[in-house]
Structure 1
Amino acid sequence: MPPITLWFLQASRCIRTAWLLDALGLDYEVKFSPREGGLAPAAFKKEAGGLGKFPTLQDGDTILYESGNIAEYLCDKYDKQHKLLPPVGDPKRYEALQWVHAAEATWTLHGIAVLYVRWHQKDGDVKKTEQGLSKNIINDFNLLEATLKQSSGKFLFGNEISVADTMMHFSTSFILARELGVKAEDYPRCKQYVQDCEATASYKKAVEKTGHKL
């Protein structure tokens, strides 16, 4: 098996990839960096290459960016029994991939918009701007709450994690922890979902190996 290296920036989406690697039972090397002034150090970005974004994954001669893309790649290459992602052509595959892509393109996008307002808006009423942006986040969490309530188990598709959970967990925990438009007390099923994800052996192993702290 070719060596796998994960460039891991603290307090970031990188935990998605680490969790998936451990859920797949893969050995990997971690190249870790803390943040400096809240940002990725320039030298670490240069080392990772590309846009200098994280996670960055190297599998042999293949270098990949974007957590959703990495997730799909790892499942297609290493999940031979399709425990985390159903095979091509199976409708359930695309149900899972909807969440994989929505984790970043919808949940995180809407949440980080509020965070950027807090950080960067210089004029006007920040609170009112947040309230306006929060409408999207409330819609997102209403959907996630309802979906989890309808699930037959603790996770999105039952009592076993899928690639969808490895992606959605970070988005959910990130938004709830920082109260970006919603509060955990208003979404008890989402709050429990985060706790259930973090209670899995593979997630704990990923945290131990990487030193991840949100």
Structure 2
Amino acid sequence: MSQITLYFLQASRSIRIAWLLEALELDYEIKFADRESGKAPQWLKDEAGGLGKFPTLRDGDLLLYESGNITEYLCDTYDKEHKLLPAVGDPKRYDVLHWVHAAEATYALHALAILYCRWFQKDGDLNKTEESLRVNVHKDMDFLDASLKKTEGKFLMGHETTAADTMMEFTADFVFTRGLGTQGKTWPRVEQYVKNCQSTPAWQKAQKKTGHQL
């Protein structure tokens, strides 16, 4: 039995870690759950601990939270050739980590502001609120689009996938699928990037194993 367990909640960031585990060719067990009334079931929260957010990863006796943190741990522990994340001290490492952290700290942050307004705004004009908030999403996607155009390959760092892609693919797909701030513009290069990521054998293995869908 594998010592690695991925606690996987459907329609969540958990696909990032499943894809990464497949890219690293690691054996892992999945504790999987669909959402109940839009939320994680209590049994999965109880098993995973912490704040009850997903993905959560168990490696032996170690429990890890936050997809960016889990990504760095798995790469530093198991990516001995540094294909997905360059070694500490290599300047290219920080190019990759820029996207690892931007996926949540910038891109998801701005998109989720819109989603939360849709869920929770009680008074005022929701359309006007979204119109103001989508400015940041447009800037974010413009930057991602420009960055992709600078690369020689299909992915953020070039011809091969890295941890930058295992983090950013979900965020870009989530923004497009939910229409979070995308009104008024299109980003064909980013849309193609998502397709390129999802066509990789490792992503497809992860999707098949987990049943991931947004």
Q: Structure 2-normalised TM-score?
A: 0.97
8 Å Cα contact 1:176-1:183 kept in structure 2: no
Cα 1:115/1:54, change in 2 over 3 Å: same
Is the CA contact 1:83–1:162 (under 8 Å) kept in the aligned structure 2?
A: yes
Distance (Å, rounded) in 2 between the aligned partners of 1:146 and 1:101: 18
Q: Give identity over the alignment, percent.
A: 62
The residue type equivalent to 2:103 in the other structure is A
In the alignment, structure 1 residue 147 sits paired with structure 2 residue 147: yes
Give TM-score scaled by structure 1 length: 0.97
Q: What is the aligned partner in structure 2 of residue 120 from structure 1?
A: 120
> Which residue of 2 is the match for residue 207 of structure 1?
207
Q: Which amino acid aligns with 2:203?
A: Y
CA distance in 1, matches of 2:5, 2:165: 22
1:99-141 Cα deviation digits (max 9, x unpaired)? 0000011101110110011111111100000111111111100
> Partner of 1:182 in structure 2?
182
Aligned equivalents of 1:185, 1:178: Cα separation in 2: 15
Task: Show structure 1 runs of 5+ residues with no match.
Answer: none
Q: Tell me the equivalent position of 2:160.
A: 160
Amino acid at match of 2:175: I
Give the residue type in structure 1 aligned to 2:95: E
1:81 aligns with 2:56: no
How far 1:44 sits from its partner (Å)?
1.4
Could you list the structure 1 runs, at least 4 aligned residues long, displaced by more than 4 angstroms after superposition: none
Deviation by residue 1:21-51 (Cα, 9 ceiling, x = unmatched): 0000000000000001111112211111111
User: In the aligned structure 2, how far is the partner of 1:160 from the partner of 1:184?
Assistant: 32
For the residue of structure 1 that corresponds to 2:159, the secondary structure is coil
For 1:106-117, what aligned pairs fall within 5 Å after superposition?
A: 106-117=106-117
Does 2:19 match 1:19?
A: yes
Aligned to 2:194: 194
Shift of 1:189: 0.3
User: 1: distance between equivalents of 2:4 and 2:169?
Assistant: 23
Cα distance in structure 2, aligned partners of 1:74 and 1:183? 36
